[in-house]
Amino acid sequence: MAWEEESITECSSLLCNIVLQDHVIDRWRWVMDPTNGYCVKGVYQYLTLSDTSLERGFFDVAWLKQVPLKVSIFVWRLLRSRLPTKDNLIRRRAFHQDDILCIGGCGCSETVSHLLFRCDIFDSVWYGVYQWLQVSFISPDSVCEHLFQFGHMAGLP
């Protein structure tokens, strides 16, 4: 595929300036903290600090002990827009640009916001969840609004 060839070219260009030296010991270096090296606390701080407009509270809630790890990872990826939706896969050159349409068959572009909040096909899933919880709701337009609604219902600040 064309994207594989482009990826190989990009990787090759990154390695072209590397010079191997005979009497120098190779070692791993943690770019986030080259002085002290890798630590879990440093990774956690890196992952939870955000340059986006999302409230920091959403990141704190994502890592609560009471929340299963797979849910925390999903929420973290959701907040960072790292879910494998077609728009993200196209940006990473894993899909062809012509294959952007929603898997639900509605004819719209597949994005996180579309799949979770705007797609008529998948909107019925949220309707069923809210009915099962026996709550009335207004369908949110964004990830933050959705997390605020569900977080508030769960008693989170």
The pLDDT score that the predictor gives to residue 44 is: 76
The pLDDT score that the predictor gives to residue 117 is: 82
The pLDDT score that the predictor gives to residue 53 is: 41
The pLDDT score that the predictor gives to residue 63 is: 66
Q: Is the pTM of this model over 0.95?
A: no
d(CA 9, CA 143): 36
The pLDDT score that the predictor gives to residue 54 is: 44
Q: Could you read off the pLDDT tens digit of each residue along the chain, which spans 157 residues?
A: 555 566 666 667 766 777 777 887 777 667 667 777 788 887 777 666 644 444 455 555 556 667 788 888 888 888 888 889 888 888 888 888 888 888 888 889 888 888 888 888 888 887 888 888 887 777 777 777 777 776 666 666 5
The pLDDT score that the predictor gives to residue 154 is: 63
The pLDDT score that the predictor gives to residue 142 is: 76
The pLDDT score that the predictor gives to residue 73 is: 85
d(CA 72, CA 20): 41
The pLDDT score that the predictor gives to residue 127 is: 83
Write out the DSSP string of 65-126.
TTS-HHHHHHHHHHHTT-S--HHHHHHTTSS-TT--B-TTSSSSB--HHIIIII-HHHHHHH
Q: Is the dihedral of CA 72, 90, 56, 157 positive or negative?
A: negative
The pLDDT score that the predictor gives to residue 75 is: 81
> What is the three-class DSSP state of 41?
helix
d(CA 123, CA 132): 14
d(CA 84, CA 132): 28
